[in-house]
Structure 1
């Protein structure tokens, strides 16, 4: 912070202001004295009462150090000094305000990185602090707006790319069929089957995209019910038992305590766990186990979906929940992933007032979910914050 530095012109203005004020005060003092003299002219008793020395300290034989006349002159002198000081301070504050306004105009011209760094000893300092805070808030809002626009552009680009790839294949194979460029019925069935698979891939992408945009909205309603998390995980394990067996994997469930009653939207939470288990089956190559663990900790439940497949690189862990992010592009295309599953899972968990993160080591890759046991209070707080 720095003090306002006056220009040469402003210093001259202050000097002229002081001189003019002194001259005006001297003229006023002279006028007051003349009025008093006229009032007491021809009245010796009144003059004696006003100007005479009734009490005082005498220096020598003639000069009275303290008298009504000396007191009157002193009071007038002090009053004049106060008026001059007040006038100069007032003008100085006006000049400070002028400098602040000039800085504000500079910022308004587009120099949003600039801040007013003046230090003043008046309420103007609060105004300066408010202006700087307002500019900071504006810059943050503009940056957030830019990020939103960038995010929208990236979303459109990624969706266009992911839709165009299967769509191109569909059009290509249907074009071959349309032009009768097949040699046998077996080849025709091959073309139609490939087009069918690509169409299903597009359908999955569109459904995931719809789900993602829906759960990203904070106003998305939740159908909250009371349920047993332990029972839900057991049902999930049973539903994936056959598919896991085909891949040589086993799904096991562990809960502490045995019954964990909580509140949530079971349909949306089911989507979260389905996505995580499907990912474990797709990318847990070489692994033998998928572990579903739930533990009640205070007022929340911590659920881990783990597998003993290949670890995820550390530099990829923080990007896993970015939409359309794939650790290995070729492998995801091969397995038909859209890159939206984990982003959807994160949005659903956030809707419930919880959070999710991933951790990976040579032994286990785990997705850890923290959820409140009572979601009603969390949703009320979220609505109040809005």
Structure 2
């Protein structure tokens, strides 16, 4: 029955409902005939109210005979019958439509019960006019929004579980080392001061690694909120990027990597949260230095295009596989797990960068081809926060 209804836009009545509708029509017609006859007789008696009871009964019998069997008396009564006929048809139509709409509501309620029993992929298939149609569309829209909310809640719960799992894994590794080395020191299982310093240094570096993870996690949870406040100010984007490049020159020189900045134009005023945007470029340059295997050059290009600034940070290191490009901005994602362990990356840098860019109503994406891996940022020059 339900599969059959899905193929129709109109409600298909069952045989029982059609019988109910037919009986409703017949009963209504009989009642209307009796009502019309009673009204007609009452009208005659009102006109001839001076008659005795015997005369009234005789007059009623004569009137019934004249009404149905006397052709000579029909002509003057024709307008009355015509008017009564129109009234009767209107009442009959009203009662049948009322009953039919009750049946429609019964079908709609049945569909609604079917959905409420857990069939959230089902929708009420009827295409009706008037209030019933509005009701169906509202119910379907409500079911859609409810299903979407349920799915979003599931995704959030799954995301929380994954976050806890990943954080626990990344914290447990350095924490195990810290406990191990401090345990050796506690038990005085070292042969010299040099070995003691080695243990303390290792524990210290692992503790710093944990702090980086906690700081990144805190920053990530902050910028992931859509209502995170921004300290909007007017600044020179080219000057800001230039300062970030200067800060990375020493680290880049240690790895024999050159960092070049190409600004077009030389000065570019825009609006944004400078502290958070610096974090974006810090993360991108850090990633380029850590993961740009065999790379010798990092180029940053910033230019004004229309009402936005387009910034490209690219390096000539090992290319990233195409299947990994769309996953780069997922939290804790690493192209090569072993390499990230060596570099000590948390896997949150790009996720943080994307969230900050999104807060500025911009977007970021990555490409890796022709020997270059590029991260391209689009930011509006004017902030909607002001």
Q: Secondary structure at the match of 2:205?
A: helix
**TM-superposed deviation, 1:193:** 1.4
- Determine the structure 2 residue equivalent to 1:126: 134
Equivalent residues in 2 for 1:17-28 (5 A)? 17-28=24-35
Query: Once the 2 structures are TM-superposed, how far is the Cα of residue 196 of structure 1 from its aligned partner?
Result: 1.1
Return the TM-score normalized by structure 2. Answer: 0.89
Q: Name whichever of 233-242 and 291-300 sits farther off.
A: 233-242
Q: CA deviation at 1:253?
A: 1.0
Local SS of the residue matching 2:301:
strand
Deviations 1:203-238 (A, max 9, x none): 111111111111112222222221111112222222
Aligned to 1:92: 100
Selected match of 2:18 from 11, 21, 45? 11
Displacement of 1:67 in angstroms is 4.0
Partners in 1 of 2:166 and 2:73 — Cα distance?
95
Worse overlay, 151-160 or 105-114: 105-114
Q: For the residues of structure 1 that align with 2:245 and 2:205, how far apart are their CA atoms?
A: 27
Other-structure match for 2:227:
219
* Unmatched tracts of structure 2, length 5 or more: 1-7, 51-69
Q: Kindly indicate whether the alpha-carbon contact (under 8 Å) linking 2:232 and 2:385 is maintained by their aligned counterparts in 1.
A: no
**Of 259, 268, 272, the match for 2:280:** 272
Q: Conserved in 2, the CA contact under 8 Å of 1:248 and 1:288?
A: yes
**1:10-65, Cα deviation, whole Å (9 max, x unpaired):** 2232222112211111111111221232244499xxxxxxxxxxxxxxxxxx9789
Give the SS at the match of 1:34: helix
Residues in 2 aligned to 1:14 and 1:275: alpha-carbon distance in whole angstroms: 73
Query: Which residues of 2 match residues 349-368 of structure 1 at below 5 A?
Result: 349-368=357-376
Distance of 1:221 and 1:70 partners within structure 2: 82
TM-score (norm 1): 0.89
1:237 paired residue number = 245
Deviations 1:273-322 (A, max 9, x none): 01100111111122221111111111111111111111111111111111
Offset at 1:366? Answer: 0.8
Residue-by-residue CA offset, 1:230-257 (whole Å, 9 max, x unaligned): 1122222222112211211111111221
Separation of aligned partners in 2, 1:330 and 1:134: 47
State the alpha-carbon separation in 1 of the partners of residues 88 and 251 from structure 2: 97
**Residue of structure 2 equivalent to 1:321:** 329
Residue 257 in structure 1 maps to residue 265 in structure 2: yes
Could you tell me which residue of structure 2 aligns to residue 137 of structure 1? 145
In structure 1, the residue matched to 2:343 is: 335
| 1:188-203 correspondence to structure 2 within 5 Å | 188-203=196-211
- 1:64-92 per-residue CA deviation (whole Å, 9 max, x = no partner) reads 89943222222222321221122111101
1:283 aligns with 2:291: yes
Instruction: Specify whether residues 255 and 67 from structure 1 end up closer, same or farther in structure 2 by C-alpha distance, changes over 3 A only.
Output: farther
Deviates more, 1:229-238 or 1:321-330: 229-238
Residue 152 (structure 1) aligned with residue 163 (structure 2): no
Match in the other structure for 2:79: 71
Asked whether the equivalents of residues 353 and 379 of structure 1 are also in contact (C-alpha less than 8 Å), the reply is no
Q: 8 Å contact 1:310–1:362 — kept in the other structure?
A: no
Structure 1 equivalent of residue 187 of structure 2: 179
Matched, 1:205 2:201: no
CA distance in 1, matches of 2:115, 2:304: 53
Secondary structure at 1:290 match in 2: strand
In structure 1, runs of 5+ residues without a counterpart are 44-61, 381-386
Q: Identify the range of structure 1 (4-13 vs 175-184) with the bigger mean alpha-carbon deviation.
A: 4-13
